[in-house]
Amino acid sequence: MKKDKLKKYSIRFGIVFLIALALLTYFSSTIDNMLLPQVKLAEVSYGTIDGEQSGDDRYLIPLSAVVSMGNTGTVFVAKTDENNETTVSEVTVDIKNSDDLYYEVTSDDIYSGMGVVYSTSKSIASGDRVHIAEGE
């Protein structure tokens, strides 16, 4: 009689375990995206703060997107691959000018229309996968 109860509970436990495993597998990508850092992106604009022409390519980036160290700084650039996974990479920029909203920068690795991270829910590093927050 004891063997029958043990067998009955073992079978129930096995069924519950398989159902839980199936549910976790089904929702694994959703759970993964929930655990990724949430970032907000700003688009890089071509131009200068004063509106004049420049001899080199200059771009406007929001102040909150740049970690500045004197005349140089770094920004995190978001790139989405063919698998629809977004990663960030750290890019060095030369700061030429600034005002209350933007840095005017130059860099060989930045172009107009590119997305730079200006806000993040967790600390990020170059190569990290991130989730882009909607509804900016």
**34 band by pLDDT with thresholds 50, 70 and 90:** confident
Residues 1 and 42 occupy one common structural domain? no
How much is the mean pLDDT over the chain? 88
**1 band by pLDDT with thresholds 50, 70 and 90:** low
Residues 123 and 64 occupy one common structural domain? yes
Residues 79 and 61 occupy one common structural domain? yes
Residues 15 and 53 occupy one common structural domain? no
Q: In angstroms, rounded to a whole number, what is the distance separating the alpha carbons of residues 81 and 76? A: 16
Residues 14 and 76 occupy one common structural domain? no
Residues 20 and 55 occupy one common structural domain? no
Q: What is the pLDDT of residues 70-91, one digit of tens each?
A: 889 999 999 988 888 899 999 9
Angle between helices 28-35 and 2-26 (to 10 degrees): 60
How many domains does the structure of the chain reveal?
2
Arithmetic mean of pLDDT, 40-52: 86
* DSSP letter, residue 136: -
Residues 51 and 102 occupy one common structural domain? yes
Give residue 29's identity as a one-letter amino acid code.
S
Residues 109 and 55 occupy one common structural domain? yes
Q: In angstroms, rounded to a whole number, what is the distance separating the alpha carbons of residues 124 and 130? A: 8
Residues 76 and 125 occupy one common structural domain? yes
Residue 30 has φ and ψ, to the nearest 5°, of -65, -45
Residues 86 and 96 occupy one common structural domain? yes
Distances (CA, A) of 29 to 20, 24, 60, 131, 134: 15, 9, 35, 12, 18
Tell me the residue range of the domain where 91 lies: 37-132
The pair of structure tokens assigned to 8 is 């009955």
